[in-house]
Amino acid sequence: MSRSLSPVLTQRRAAAALVTVALLTPLAACGSDDDSKKDGAAGSKDVNLTVLAASSLTDVLPKLQAAYTKEHPGTKFTPSFAGSQELAAHVKQGSGGDVLVTADTKTMDGLKSDTGTPAVIAKNRLVIATREGNPDKVKDLKDLANEKLKVVLADDTVPVGRYSKQILDKQHVDVKPVSKEPNVRAVLSKVELGEADAGLVYKTDAASATGKTDAIDIPDAQNAVASYPAATIKESEHGKEAADFVKWLSTPKAQKILQDAGFQKP
């Protein structure tokens, strides 16, 4: 039959155990330091950068991030896409993020107190997106004034919406859109789904929907040029890593990825 330990003996054994742990802890700590050194800096400096990016970068940003991670294994990414005005509101509210890329310089200029010095990494132009096969025979901007056409545009608060208004006003084309969308991808989606006959989108977005929509080029003299500035967000907890990524976006490798996706040189 087993016997319980006396209270005194139990206390003595507990005290001895505590002493043993106290003696072994420094050795364990030394071992951890040695192990971390053996593992290398990459394992101890892994970071996850949150990149707030304009919707028109939805397809190309993952390719840029994959290429960067291949060169910098310790850096991972969490992308977040929205209209530039939504991204700006997010930054102003201090809601987090490490890098910001907008589809216009105006939005970025309004965030000077919240971001680092921006650098334009790419440019873009607008095209007319139509339903596949262009069944309504849209040829140019003036055709968008046809009241029989269901035309969708981006809201004027969004860069692509402002560019759209700019080029339509310049050509004195009065368009009455059936809806105004919060970002360029929403415009493209309306055309893809047949909910609209035509819409104004960036050239790169139209390219992403090849086989689902048609793209009608707009002559340069009638078009607008969209600039994409990138900058670090000052409240980032990974300022150095964020700055390194922003700088990398202007390198030949990053530029090739952007231009292969249809973006123009900065």
- Model confidence at 5: pLDDT above 50: no
Q: Give the mean pLDDT of the chain.
A: 87
Q: What are 143-199's pLDDT values in tens digits? A: 999 999 999 999 999 999 999 999 999 999 999 999 999 999 999 999 999 999 999
| pLDDT number for residue 175 | 97
Which range, of 8-12, 43-47, 66-70, 133-137, averages the lowest pLDDT? 8-12
Q: Which two tokens stand for residue 54?
A: 């304009």
Query: 129 burial class (0-12, 13-18, 19+ CB within 10 angstroms)?
Result: buried
- Model confidence at 41: pLDDT above 70: no
Pick the CATH number of 124-225 from 3.40.190.10, 3.40.50.2300, 3.20.20.140, 3.40.1280.10: 3.40.190.10
| Helices assigned H by DSSP within 115-261 | 159-170, 184-192, 203-208, 239-248, 252-260
Calculate mean pLDDT across residues 243-254.
98
Whether the pTM exceeds 0.85: the reply is: no
C-alpha span between 226 and 221 (Å, rounded)? 14
Residue 24: in which H helix or E strand, if any?
helix 7-39
Q: What are 90-109's pLDDT values in tens digits? A: 999 998 899 999 999 999 99
Residue 213: in which H helix or E strand, if any?
strand 213-217
| pLDDT number for residue 180 | 97
Strands 75-82 and 151-154: unpaired
- 44-123+227-260: CATH topology is D-Maltodextrin-Binding Protein; domain 2 (3.40.190)
Q: Which two tokens stand for residue 185?
A: 């991808």
Show the CA angle centred on residue 30, arms to residues 29 and 32, nearest 5°. 65
Q: How many C-beta neighbours within 10 Å does residue 47 have?
A: 17
Q: Are 240 and 248 in contact (CB under 8 A)?
A: no
50, HSE (Cβ side, Cα atoms, 13 Å): 15
C-alpha span between 51 and 69 (Å, rounded)? 14
Query: 16 burial class (0-12, 13-18, 19+ CB within 10 angstroms)?
Result: exposed
Q: How many C-beta neighbours within 10 Å does residue 257 have?
A: 20
Of 141, 143, 147, give the one whose Cα is nearest residue 170. Answer: 141
Q: Which two tokens stand for residue 177?
A: 């859109």
Of 135, 242, 126, 143, give the one whose Cα is nearest residue 184. Answer: 126
DSSP structural state of residue 113: T
Segments of the chain assigned to CATH 3.40.190.10: 44-123+227-260, 124-225
